[in-house]
Amino acid sequence: MTQENPKPKQDDEIVYKGHLTLVRRLHEGKKFDVVVSKDAAAMLYIDENDIVYLAKQYRPAQEKELLEAPAETLDKPSLSPLEVMIEGLEEECGIKIGKNQVKYFGKLISTSGHDTEKVHLFLAYGKGEKTKQRLEDSEKINVVKMPFDELYKMVINNEVEGSKLSCMVMYEKLRRHGLI
């Protein structure tokens, strides 16, 4: 599993370059604004008692706190998406797990209309070693723990707005019913 972080194309007009890059891209005679961003990984971790560990944090783009699965940008070329996400779970939620506890189940395109980001999705199960969060100075993440079935009900009742988390919860529910 390799990282596929895209770069602006030769004909792109760069509008802004920072953490993300905004370009104007010509397609069939029309200019489109495209965000060229690094790929990412997200993980739904469920412990041995069927408790899910989530991250709650303020998202300026949505102007509110959101409940999300732990996620990381793939900005460490020496690490695979799996390794980045195992490290990310420990950093964001204070849980250390092994590679053998993790199942990869695919990629999700976050916002296909204007963003290049693809997110690798992982499910992890079983006992984890509790450690401390290791957040960057600018990060404020509250760890939220809840039974999987409670989270599933929140997804069904449209109380979870994030596509990554909703997708992972629905995948896990189908897996539990033997449908995948």
Confidence of residue 3 (pLDDT cuts 50, 70, 90): low
In order of start, what are the domains of the chain with their CATH numbers? 38-176 (3.90.79.10)
DSSP annotation string for the chain: ---------TT-EEEEESSSEEEEEEETTEEEEEEE---EEEEEEE-TTSEEEEEEEEETTTTEEEEE--EEE---TTS-HHHHHHHHHHHHH-EE--GGGEEEEEEEES-TTTB--EEEEEEEES--EE------TT---EEEEEEHHHHHHHHHTT----HHHHHHHHHHHHHHTT--
Q: 124-179 pLDDT, tens per residue?
A: 999 999 999 888 778 889 999 999 999 999 999 999 999 999 999 999 999 999 99
Bridge partners of 34? 23
pTM of the model: 0.90
pLDDT at 60: 87
